[in-house]
Amino acid sequence: MDPIILGIAVVNGVIVGGLYGAIALGLSLIFGVMRVINFAHGSFLMLGLFIPFWLWKLFGVNPYLAAVVAAPALFGIGYLIQATIIAPLFKRERAMVLEPLSVLLLTAGVGIMLDNLALMTVGPDFRGITMEFAAKALWIGTVLNINYTRLIAFLVSLAITVAMSLFLARTDLGRAIRSTAQNRDAAALCGINVPRVYNITFGLGCAILGIVGCVMIPFYLVSPAVGLAFGIRSFIVVVLGGIGSIPGSILGGLILGVVESVTAQFVTATSASIFSFVIFILVLFFRPTGLMGMKV
């Protein structure tokens, strides 16, 4: 295998992997803090892609600027859904430890509703945006080219990761979230309003998707069904990187991206996805906390 080809494959894998990591970030956060497997994750991504699209379509707003609208909007939607639909489940369980099954089903139901409400309102069409800038690429040599918008998405993904890590480490709210993740009852005893922390966490997880959607829409597309493709992949990333670990999410994404990209050079891409699952299973068996995760 030509080392140049291999090198290019790795670079491409890294670029796309960073984005996988950012997409999975919210999932990891929500699971790490609340033990909620959010099956509606893909649906929130769909919303995160639709908002910049419509802002561009109706008002000509640059998708990168749309993040100013998308992130708070998605934060609000996530907060609302957590506070009204998922929170009752917490209240019901005495030990405040959720049956994984119930919450999984609940979020699955929410996801189905979101996807199909979108279908009903805007129809099934696939839509994308066209930007002059979007088609330009950074060329290194004559063979390696990195599309600018994907590069930006990669850098933004890194930036979000760093920002989240700092937020969790340095701010009061961040500390509150972390302590709730470690031990909910102890946190409550320290005076932390646990339900509010949950709402905020869920909102944050979704807000990240708002930003991600804005950097994705220039090179990707959106439709009511777009979330489905990201569901399983996000889980693989989260498990690989470690549940609840922010840097782990990026790491997991990078690994997945590179593995997909490199194996696709050797075998056909459909078979390559089996590799991803095999790695997934191996990690689950031999290091279930993932590469950087906290003990569950």
List the one residue from 65, 72, 119, 287 that touches another protein (CB under 8 A).
119
Report the C-alpha gap between 222 and 229 in whole angstroms. Answer: 11
Q: How far apart are the first and last CA of the chain?
A: 41
Partners of 139 in beta bridges: 145
Rounded to the nearest 10 degrees, the angle between the axes of helix 194-216 and helix 148-170 is: 160
Residue 273 as a binder of another protein (CB under 8 A): the answer is: yes
CB 230 within 8 A of CB 41: yes
Q: What are phi and psi of 130, to 5 degrees?
A: -115, 125
Q: How many residues make contact with another protein (CB under 8 A)?
A: 84
**By the rule CB under 8 A, 220 interacts with another protein:** yes
Name which of residues 241 to 260 contact another protein (CB under 8 A): 260
**Which of 65, 72, 135, 155 lies at the binding interface for another protein (CB under 8 A)?**
135
Query: Whole-angstrom Cα distance, residue 212 to residue 204?
Result: 12
**Cα→Cα distances 288→37, 62, 103, 241, 280, Å:** 16, 41, 21, 10, 10
CB of 254 to another protein, least distance (A): 13
| Smallest distance from another protein to CB 228, Å | 7
Question: Taking the complex as a whole, how short is the minimal distance between the CB of residue 169 and another protein, in angstroms?
Answer: 26
Q: How far is the CB of 197 from another protein (least distance, A)?
A: 20
d(CA 220, CA 130): 10
Query: Which one of 65, 72, 113, 190 is in contact with another protein (CB under 8 A)?
Result: 113
Q: Binding string, 148-187, against another protein, x = CB under 8 A? A: --x-------------------------------------
- Quick note: the x/- pattern for another protein over 72-101, rule CB under 8 A, is -------------x--xx--xx-x-x-xxx
The residue within the footprint of another protein, chosen from 147, 152, 178, 247 (CB under 8 A), is: 147
